[in-house]
Structure 1
């Protein structure tokens, strides 16, 4: 068995893997760098601005994760359609993904637009932080509609082994975001300094630029994914929508439950004081950047394994599942080494933090380095392997048990009843990953996740 797994790492496999994984990783880094740029620039203005951007960013993250959950049904279908050489199926599944994602995005946008104070109040009691974060959410709410289109298109491009297209336009978007942040937050070229409100407008405007350029490229070149109104009419039928929702809704609930749990962890830390909230707000975008390559490999594994299952190559899919797991673990260890090397120069960029917050952030950084290794195996197995085969119920139940029935109650108990130091409370965020490590491994070994979804 170990020999057969190692034999999967031939030159052709690695070349194909990294042509898919690297653009996805880069796109993930670009997405994460939006919040990192916000935090870096706002970090020069004080703890309250950092804390507000952190909570608002985490709420926005929950909404984006929901859209990724909705789109995962489309990802499973497009990957297997492409493996079966059904190009029309890829086009229609992508169109349906965009349409349904847009509906979900509208609901989240309405919540951020009309009830942002309620959202912010879930994580903090500070009136100043709530007011600042609410302003951010109201402006960026509209960005979710563009994100629905971008995520849906990215799903189709990924299944076609063309993730570099959406990555290219994401790079343009993040470049625009950095420039507009600098202009609007600090007030350049005669404009007033807007602080966190400027960061929100920069996020909205750069997202609009990215969306317009991506759509212009697709429709200008008459790309396969440049669907028209007739395609939308074709896919908006009861049979296709029911099949899509049957795949997507459990994953969406799974994503919402997981992302909601991350928000609850953030809220628990927030209830222990604004210092912990500010430190966690700094760590969150660093965490996202650190996970980028692992996310890339995990999503690439979903494409590879989805293609193999669609072509009924189950034995090869099983061996590839373990090969991807080994690869993700190796990259996690490498990433940790790099993180520890650049820790001090990176944290020095947050010049506006108080001495107490800086010291706490330093401790959080070391703890997360350990949690990163724990995340590597469950990530590739859940995001890539199990969902590629449509094993969505197992993933959902595993997340509910590991996070909501064990991780969150234990963390809350230790924080509010035992009054553990805040560093120890933060370390408990790794408990659920440890549980998922073993549960996911047993599930992959069982082979019960192997399903052909488009036969």
Structure 2
């Protein structure tokens, strides 16, 4: 892998696809960990699904922050790769890794202090609380592994090597499934651990995945770590600059993840069957939605590389229009898959209560429309970030979440006793609120002249 190996000046739809499909595969498998665990434990009943939902909401807070800083690292690496500056590339990688490890260390300390009381206050009963505590204690290994793994993934993605992170998940997911099946149900003489077995399967798989990526980096690109010099003169200065650039992006993704987790904790106040339905459908929204999100992410990687090469504004516009048109095709595919999932829910989850399956079917009209504004917003967000407009994107996300979605969800669940379908519809309402400010800002075109150090 060489930073000087430049992609074509004007990426084609094919080149975006070659970046996007491994991103999609990797994201499906990443989000699929929760879907797989949910499917495997669904045979144990709504109580087990509730344990998983409560645990995932809490762990998701920290995983989301790791993903947030890693996305910022990915943008910096894409810019460095486009510029051909290997000192910049080394600085972005090591700064990103340092920040991720610092975030996860502080996050795990906070989980140790506050997760227990939070679980006790939200769980429907003592059995669910005990199961969630056990799941989180083991899932901490996954969180630590993802801190390293997401940074390495951002490095490979930013350099255009998106197939390598996808390959690492292709190795890890079968291990996750096999170990989880054995430990959840006590097959092959193993103990019957229930939901805790799913956490162990995820932990083993994540360690394998990160080990593969780390070995691959050392084997393919070890000379990068010996490149003399730093982007901003010293390691400390480069770290500060990287953190300054990353903070608005991390705040954007972190706000989204925290808002989602807070909403997930609010969903825990719904009746058990309704909460189980939300626990099942939300990971599907993330998994299937990656078709559109990863197309937007691949578009952002190309935009970052093109800006690193100081590509002309008219060339940027031509590329973006082509990528945008294809994103609507991806949104249509996502809507079709959502339809299939809802219609097939009696066969996918035969052990669930009929009321839970009926609730899943009631989500269908929302799911059909959701991918289109969400996909278009994602194209805008990734393009604006690559062009340096990270603060503007942050404000759109933060205010739409904390002035609308979170308080309205709280009101609907805690005071208005709204139906679970209305509560789920707030996911779509948030995307509609973000639509105008995203698209108006993109049309203004300030991102086309954004400098990498702005």
Q: TM-score, normalised by structure 1?
A: 0.91
Q: Which stretch shows the higher mean deviation, 356-365 or 147-156?
A: 356-365
- Pair 1:310–1:11, CA change in 2 (3 A): closer
Distance in 2 (alpha carbons) for counterparts of 1:349 and 1:429: 24
Residue 28 (structure 1) aligns with? 27
Asked whether the 8 Å contact 1:283–1:361 carries over to 2, the reply is yes
Residue 388 (structure 1) aligns with? 386
**Corresponding residue SS for 2:247:** helix
Distance in 2 (alpha carbons) for counterparts of 1:185 and 1:332: 35
Asked whether the 8 Å contact 2:135–2:196 carries over to 1, the reply is yes
Superposition deviation, residue 119 in structure 1? 4.1
Residue 6 (structure 2) aligns with? none
Unaligned runs of 5+ in 1: 1-9
Q: Which stretch shows the higher mean deviation, 268-277 or 186-195?
A: 268-277
Note if 1:95 corresponds to 2:80: no
Asked whether the 8 Å contact 1:113–1:137 carries over to 2, the reply is no
- Root-mean-square deviation (CA, aligned residues, Å) is 2.5
Note if 1:407 corresponds to 2:405: yes
Residue 301 (structure 1) aligns with? 299
Per-residue CA deviations over 1:360-412 (Å, capped at 9, x if unaligned) read 12223442332233311112211x21111121111111112211112222333
Asked whether the 8 Å contact 1:364–1:423 carries over to 2, the reply is yes
Superposition deviation, residue 78 in structure 1? 1.1
- Pair 1:40–1:392, CA change in 2 (3 A): same
Q: How many residues align?
A: 444
Asked whether the 8 Å contact 1:386–1:444 carries over to 2, the reply is yes
Q: TM-score, normalised by structure 2?
A: 0.91
Superposition deviation, residue 358 in structure 1? 1.6
Residue 5 (structure 1) aligns with? none
Asked whether the 8 Å contact 1:294–1:328 carries over to 2, the reply is yes
Note if 1:171 corresponds to 2:170: yes
Distance in 2 (alpha carbons) for counterparts of 1:400 and 1:436: 10
**Corresponding residue SS for 2:44:** coil
Distance in 2 (alpha carbons) for counterparts of 1:234 and 1:60: 35
Distance in 2 (alpha carbons) for counterparts of 1:249 and 1:12: 29
**Corresponding residue SS for 1:241:** helix
- Pair 1:183–1:234, CA change in 2 (3 A): farther
- Pair 1:406–1:58, CA change in 2 (3 A): same
Distance in 2 (alpha carbons) for counterparts of 1:341 and 1:277: 21
- Pair 1:13–1:119, CA change in 2 (3 A): farther
- Pair 1:174–1:114, CA change in 2 (3 A): farther
Distance in 2 (alpha carbons) for counterparts of 1:33 and 1:237: 37
Superposition deviation, residue 230 in structure 1? 8.8
Asked whether the 8 Å contact 2:101–2:147 carries over to 1, the reply is yes
- Pair 1:161–1:392, CA change in 2 (3 A): same
Superposition deviation, residue 108 in structure 1? 1.9
Per-residue CA deviations over 1:35-82 (Å, capped at 9, x if unaligned) read 111000100001011011122123223322211211233222211111
Distance in 1 (alpha carbons) for counterparts of 2:88 and 2:129: 46
- Pair 1:369–1:438, CA change in 2 (3 A): same
Distance in 2 (alpha carbons) for counterparts of 1:58 and 1:147: 16
**Corresponding residue SS for 1:141:** helix
Superposition deviation, residue 342 in structure 1? 4.5
Distance in 2 (alpha carbons) for counterparts of 1:432 and 1:116: 28
Asked whether the 8 Å contact 1:371–1:430 carries over to 2, the reply is yes
- Pair 1:235–1:265, CA change in 2 (3 A): farther
Unaligned runs of 5+ in 2: 1-8
Asked whether the 8 Å contact 1:47–1:353 carries over to 2, the reply is yes
Distance in 1 (alpha carbons) for counterparts of 2:430 and 2:70: 25
Asked whether the 8 Å contact 2:54–2:268 carries over to 1, the reply is no
**Corresponding residue SS for 2:446:** coil
Residue 265 (structure 2) aligns with? 267
